[in-house]
Structure 1
C-alpha cells in the first residue's frame, strides 16, 4: 500500500506539473527538492518490476517471468499509441474549434506536415511529442529487465555496479539516443535513467536486506534527513519569488547547472531523490496510520491502476492547457481545472477497483456454481446407477415369475424314496 500511495502521488503531481504556470505546482515535489515526480515514477517502476517479476522468476522460472515482462511491454506500447492518437485528436479539434494553433505547443506539427513519416516514427518510439516521453523509456528499461533480473538473482550488487558504471560513462561522454525530428536527443536519456530504475529494482528484489533498508538506528536516515532539509531550503528559495537573491550568487550559479540537466539525470537530482526516498521511508512505515486516511486510500487506488490513471492524466493535462490558454487564466480557473482533473483520476481509479472486485466476485460465483454443478452431477449419476440396478433386479424377478410352473413343481418335490 505504501508503494501504491507514492506512485499515486507521482501520477497526480505529473498531471499538475504538466499544466504550465499552475499554482498547485508550487506544492508539488519539484518545489521542495531538486527532483520531481519523474524520479518517483522511474524508481517505483523498477521497485515494482523486481517485486512482481522476481516472484515470478522464483516460482515459475525465467521463461514465465520474461513472458510476463513482454506482455507488460505490449500493454505499455498499445497505451502509448492510444495516447498519441487522443492527443493529436484533442489538438486538431481545438485548432479547428477555437481557431488557435496548438500543434507546435505539443510537438505534433511534424505529424500534421508529414504524417506518412511521423506515424512510422511514432510506432518506432522515435517521435515523442509533448507529455509522451516517459512511456518509451519505461518500455526500453523493461526490455532489458530480464537480464537485470537474472543478474540480481545471481549476485545482488552486480547489476547496480554495472548500471552505475554506464551512468557515469554516459555523463562523461554524452551518450544518448536521438529522436525525430531534427535528430534531437530523448528528453529522458535511457542510458542515464536506467541507473535509477536499477536502484529501485535492487531495493525491490532485496526488501529484507539491511544494506538497502537500514534500520532505525542506522546513520543513513540521519544523513538523508540532513541532505533533504538542506536541499529543501535551497529549492524553496528558488521557488518563492524574491528569496532567490537571499542566497549567495556563487551558490546559485554553481548548483543550477547540476540540477537543470533532467534529461541525463543530473547527479544532484539523483542525490536529492535518494535522500528524500530514505527520509520518507524512515517516517512513513509499512503500517503507518497515514495509509488508512480516506484521502490516502483514494491516492492508493490511483497507484494500483497506474497505467490507466496515467493515460487519463495526460489527456486531462492537454485539455487543461488548452482551456487555460483560451479562457481567462487566473487562480480560480487553475484550481477548478486541477480539482476536476484530480477528481476524475481518483474516480476512474475507484471505478476500476470496483470493476476488478466485481469480476473477481463473479469469477468466484462461477467457480462455486461449477463446483455445485459437479456435485449435483455426481449425485444424479449415483442415483441413476441405483435406479438402473433396481430396474435390473425387477427385471430378474419378473423373468423368474414367468418361468413354467412344472419346473417349479419339479424342483419343489422331494427326491423319491429308494
Structure 2
C-alpha cells in the first residue's frame, strides 16, 4: 500500500493540536485547528483513522483474504484497548509524581493520582472494563468500540454501501438516546458518543474503500463540490470567529444561529461539525492537493509525517507530554509568554523526537514480532 505523505502529515498535525489543546495556559493553543474551524483535532484524528482503515482493509484483503483482515482489526482493537488501560495507569502515575513534587497541573483530574496509589488494582479494573475513561484518553474508548465493530460492519458496508449509510445516519440521529444506555461512571454514557462518532469514522472508511472508484465521478462536478465544501467550512469558521468577537458580533451570531439552531455540540458529533470537516476533506484532497503535497515534503511536513506515522505510540506520547507541559507552564505560577512558549516548543520537539525514535527502533521491533507470529501460524 502506497503511503500518502499528506495523510501522515495531517495525522501528525492532529496529534500536535491535541497535545497543545490539552495544555490550558499554552500560548500556541490559540493557533490550533479549533481556533479557525468549527471542528477540532479530535474529528480530524477520527476521520483520518477511518480513512486509513479503509485503505488498509482493501490492501490486506486483496493479498491475504477476508479472514486475515478481520483478524488484523480485531487485534488492532485489542492494542488500542491495551493502550487505553496502560496509558491511563501511566498517566495517573505521572500525575502522582508531579503532585509529589508539588507541581500543580490541570490537564487531568487529580483524583486519578489518588486512585492509582490507594487502589491500583481497582483503578486498573475500571480502566480495563472502560467503566472509567480518563480525560485526554477518552477518545481511545470510542476508538476501541469503533475498531471492534470494523471486522463485522465493513463487509456490510462493502456489500450494501447505500443501506449502510442510511443505517449509520439513523443511528447518529438517535445517538444521545442510545448513549445513555451505555454503562459508565458518568450519567449519559461515554463522553465521546460512539453512536454519533461512528458516522464520521465510517465516512472515513468509505472514503478509503471507494476513493479510486468514486473520485473520477466526483471530479466531473469539481467546481460545484468545491464551492459547496468551501461554503460548509467557512460557515463553521464564521461561527467560531463571531464567537470570539463577543457582543459586537451578536447580530452575526444570531443570524448564524438561525441556520445551525443553537449549540454545536462536540460529544454527540453535531451535524454542523460533521459537514464542516467533510467539506474540508474535499478541499484538502482536490483543490489543495498539490499544496498539501508540497507542505508534506517540507522539513516541517516531514517532521509531522513522522509524528503521524508513530500512530498509537505518538498519541500516548502526546497525552503524557500534555500533562508534563501543563505542569511546567503552571510551575512556578505567573510565568511570562516567552517561558510558556519555550515549553510549547519543547513539547513539540520532544513529541517529534520520541516519534522518530519509535519509527527507527520500536516499529521495526514490533513488525519483527508480528512476522514471527505469522510464520508460526
1:252 Cα deviation after fit? 5.2
Gapped regions of structure 1 (runs ≥ 5)? 363-418
Partner of 2:161: 156
Match of 1:220 in 2: 225
CA–CA separation in structure 1 for the residues paired with 2:204 and 2:233:
19
136, 144, 147: which one pairs with 1:131?
136
In the TM superposition, residue 250 of structure 1 has moved relative to its aligned partner by 5.5
Number of equivalences: 360
For 1:352, the equivalent position in structure 2 comes to 358
- CA distance 1:262–1:179, shift in 2 (3 Å): farther
Shift of 1:93: 1.4
User: TM-score scaled by structure 1?
Assistant: 0.77
1:96 and 2:100 matched = yes
Q: 1:337 aligned to 321, 331, 343, which one?
A: 343
Distance 1:113 1:3, change over 3 A: same
- Given candidates 44, 52, 55, the residue that maps to 1:51 is 55
1:304 counterpart = 2:309: yes
* Equivalence for 1:40: 44
Aligned partner of 2:88 in structure 1 is: 84
Q: Counterparts of 1:217-366 in structure 2 under 5 Å?
A: 217-218=221-222, 219-239=224-244, 244-245=249-250, 247-249=252-254, 251=256, 255=260, 257-259=262-264, 261-285=265-289, 288-327=293-332, 328-355=334-361
Q: 1:18 maps to which residue?
A: 22
Q: Distance in 2 between the 1:177 and 1:41 partners?
A: 26
Which secondary structure does the structure 2 equivalent of 1:209 belong to? helix
1:122 aligned to 2:127?
A: yes
Q: In structure 2, the residue corresponding to 1:283 is in which secondary structure?
A: coil
Per the TM alignment, residue 114 of structure 1 is displaced from its structure 2 partner at its CA by: 5.5
CA apart distance, 1:143 = 0.5
State how far apart, in whole Å, the 1-side matches of 2:124 and 2:364 are: 38
Q: Give yes or no for contact 1:151–1:158 (8 Å, CA) kept in 2.
A: no
**Structure 1 residues 32, 150: CA separation in 2 closer, same or farther (over 3 Å shift)?**
same
Which has the larger displacement, 76-85 or 26-35? 76-85
- Report the secondary structure of 1:13's partner residue: helix
Q: What's the CA shift for 1:201?
A: 0.4
TM-score by length of 2: 0.85
8 A Cα contact 2:304 2:352, kept in partner = yes
Higher mean alpha-carbon deviation, 123-132 vs 236-245, is at 236-245
Greater gyration radius: 1
Contact 1:5 1:303 in 2 (8 A): yes
